[in-house]
Structure 1
């Protein structure tokens, strides 16, 4: 006898990966997470590869894990994946002290974070044609508008 199967909280076209207790403050991690939200996965991986921030390596590894979950566990097409959400949560806080002058001490807080990335399979948005943008029509069209 086993437990009944848990109900899946995500849609059929979504997959997730979670990293807990990452040794970085939530504020710093949220800057990196915000830079990849609502992006195609290939572009997000490229941005994380060339990011200067130290934590970008861990975020990239987690994003690759979410893509692998989508491909292997849920049979989603990797080329159509987008980063649906990248949620940052607060983890534990280690409190240490730093010796100061005249026998005093100062508190040092070492923050930890949680990160949850959800990737979603959807059709890539069609790029607007050059003619569709205002002010970029042909000369004959502009002459017709002026008349």
Structure 2
């Protein structure tokens, strides 16, 4: 199966720090999986993982480790992520750097080169459903049909 094609157009806004792409085209013979909001949850308790309250970088590492596991379960890879929506309570370049570093640290080693390939949407939110959450991610993935 071919992978999604990620690229930037001449028209439109450039991606944030040129880390991401502005367009992704899904190849034929793929199904789209919409992964609901991922946050730094402890799967056993449903609570925020202890020690990461208010820390976007630590939360990113947990979130992207979980996303890597979800992708593997679906039979997909990081290069198959078509779009991501990232949600922040607060955002600046320092927080962005911490999240990027956390995302790389949490991503499966074999996929680190593709972590910033997909198209991206940023959202600012006033709060999340649990205290201490400052970062969360929604993704769309092109899953190879088998």
| TM-score for both structures, normalised by structure 2 | 0.32
User: Which is higher, the Rg of structure 1 or of structure 2?
Assistant: 1
| TM-score for both structures, normalised by structure 1 | 0.32
Bigger share in helix: 1
